[in-house]
A and B are shown apart, each in its own frame.
Chain A
Amino acid sequence: DTEVTQTPKHLVMGMTNKKSLKCEQHMGHRAMYWYKQKAKKPPELMFVYSYEKLSINESVPSRFSPECPNSSLLNLHLHALQPEDSAPYLCASSQGGQPGGQPQHFGDGTRLSIL
């Protein structure tokens, strides 16, 4: 299995709802990432988990809460989002932090719309 799988593909939620995005990989990768990608823009890094520990939080508002229950799974819990948070959210994974050009593998993304 060489894929990163994200669910759901689309999510529409109100500003008072609580929902979660899910990401799964079975490539044995030990680093997992959440990105936000606005239309026609590059991915913006949000969070990085390394060996199931939060390594990077790019000053993301607390209404986004990541969770890494195990090495294959990454969640992004959403609560009280704003309309400007509407965007595709991408998950990625990589083998780890070793030098040597370890690339990231991306999922298809979840298209999030906040009403």
Chain B
Amino acid sequence: AQRVTQPEKLLSVFKGAPVELKCNYSYSGSPELFWYVQYSRQRLQLLLRHISRESIKGFTADLNKGETSFHLKKPFAQEEDSAMYYCALRQGTYKYIFGTGTRLKVLA
């Protein structure tokens, strides 16, 4: 079965510390993976997609097919990074499977 797993419901780090939000997937084909972020009282918005290999707001994510992972990383967390983060996998043409999300809290 196709699945996206985010093992941490909540991740708390201090400002300036490195951050890694874990995402593992199960998919039989060639995966298309995304990270979405939802700040408090704001819309869900795209943060990263694996195919573009870009860095947004200091975040990066590398697709590791051997470990079936797409972890989100940032070397130095900032308070404004506090938000809900969802990893998503595109299944087929139009279906997106979301993980359960990880709430990131960056402490001052």
Contacts and interface: CB of A to CB of B under 8 A. Distances in A.
Same complex for A and B? Answer yes
Interface residues of B, number: 23
Contacts of B50: 101
Nearest to A45: B95
B57 interface: no
A97 B98 contact: no
Given A40-B101, A99-B32, A101-B50, A106 B93 contact: no
B86 interface: yes
A42 B94 contact: no
Contacts of B42: 108
Interface in B16-64: 32, 34, 42-46, 49-52
Contact of A101 (B43, B45, B52): B52
Given A42-B101, A106-B44, A101 B51 contact: yes
A101 B94 contact: no
Interface residues of A, number: 24
B101 to A, nearest CB: 6
Given A101-B50, A101-B52, A103-B34, A33 B44 contact: no
Interface of B: 32, 34, 42-46, 49-52, 84, 86, 90, 93-96, 98-101, 103
